[in-house]
Amino acid sequence: MTGHSRAKVLCVALAGVAMALAGPAQAKPKQVTIFTSLAGSTWYGIGAGMAKIFGEGGVQSNAELGAALSNIVNVVEGKGEIGLTMTAAVSMAEAGDPPFKGKIDKVAGLIGLSPSYLQIAVAKDDNIMGVGDLKGKRFVTQPKGAITAEVFSRTLKAYGLSESDLDLSRGSLDVQIDQMKDRHAKGMVSMASFPASFFSELANAVPLRMLPISDAAFAKIAADMPGLAQATIPANTYSGQGVPVPTVISKMVGVISADMLDDDAYWLAKALVDNLQAVRELHSSYKDLTPADFASIPGVRLHPGAARYYREKGVLK
């Protein structure tokens, strides 16, 4: 063997040792599409922030518009990798409750985030003191398929009303805000973390009252829609809101298809935990999130790949 050949063999051998020491390359998704919510919404910003985290990890990623219910269908059908939704929406999907056309059993949890609060805002000068006072009033809700619209419909039912009892229209978040500013609508609704930037801005233009949800009404809503809980929007969250407002919440979650490869789900969970501070900066309500919060998704089974990572991290038994 010539000296050149021996040197070549030695280089190959050393390269093999280096590869063995480094271990196999970590598997990761080829790309990540994240379904979010309406343009300009808190969810869209969160999804875009997650896409940036994945992109910096070497995976081409993007955020797309969506809605809590349709996002579940989209990931199960393989149209994207992650759907932002709520625990209440997952329970609806698994039960096959309308508007779902049948039971969906291929949805799995990736990450648990902060609660989203039902926030019903009305113009303060219209003397609307409670949900029952919305009868006959011009009100703008979100499009069908949005979890906000579904929870609001059940809230009306808990107060003995139906959507037909209101002068109801539907629209994007921008449409809702514009109608409130132009006084074409007396109120609007959104399920979002607080403080929601759009409500903060709107409250500076239109004095708002946030409508409370009574204990009795909550009991009826929760019986109709499992996955909801009670919580309170603290006083002074928004300009002019001097009292705490009891309402209902559902935990925001990121879901994936149960058919996703375990290694891909593992990488996604790890990428988010490894960039915990970046996740915390996506919204003010995330400032105290921990890996244990990520692994906690009440009523939703974790994907085995994500669960494996959370166990390794020591935040899941």
Residues 223 and 257 in one domain: no
Residues 44 and 107 in one domain: yes
Tell me the pLDDT band of 25, cut-offs 50, 70 and 90. Answer: low
Contact 229, 250 (CB under 8 A): yes
DSSP-derived secondary structure for 121-187: EEEGGG---SGGGGTT-EEEEPPTT-HHHHHHHHHHHHTT--GGGSEEEE--HHHHHHHHHTTS-SE
Distances (CA, A) of 181 to 131, 188, 207, 212, 317: 20, 11, 10, 22, 50
Residue 16 lies in a domain: no
Tell me how many domains the chain contains: 2
From 226, 250, 274, the end of a domain falls on 250
Residues 262 and 161 in one domain: no
* Residue predicted with more confidence, 37 or 6: 37
The string of pLDDT tens digits covering residues 120-153 is 999 998 889 999 999 999 999 998 878 899 999 9
CB atoms within 10 A of CB 128: 20
pTM summary value? 0.74
The string of pLDDT tens digits covering residues 85-122 is 999 899 899 989 888 999 999 999 999 998 889 999 99
- Please name the residues in contact with 189: beta carbons below 8 A apart, sequence gap of 6 or more: 118, 119, 120, 121, 139, 141, 142, 148, 152, 176
The string of pLDDT tens digits covering residues 268-286 is 999 999 999 999 999 888 9
Looking at the DSSP bridge assignments, the partners of residue 34 are 63, 82
Tell me the pLDDT band of 16, cut-offs 50, 70 and 90. Answer: very low
Three-state SS for 284?
Answer: helix
CATH of the domain at 195: 3.40.190.10
From 225, 250, 275, the end of a domain falls on 250
> Can you give the pLDDT at residue 184?
94
Three-state SS for 36?
Answer: coil
- Please name the residues in contact with 182: beta carbons below 8 A apart, sequence gap of 6 or more: none
The string of pLDDT tens digits covering residues 41-88 is 888 999 999 999 999 999 999 999 998 899 999 999 999 999 999 998
| For range 207-214, the mean pLDDT | 96
Residue 5 lies in a domain: no
Residues 124 and 236 in one domain: yes
Note down the domain range covering 122.
Answer: 117-250
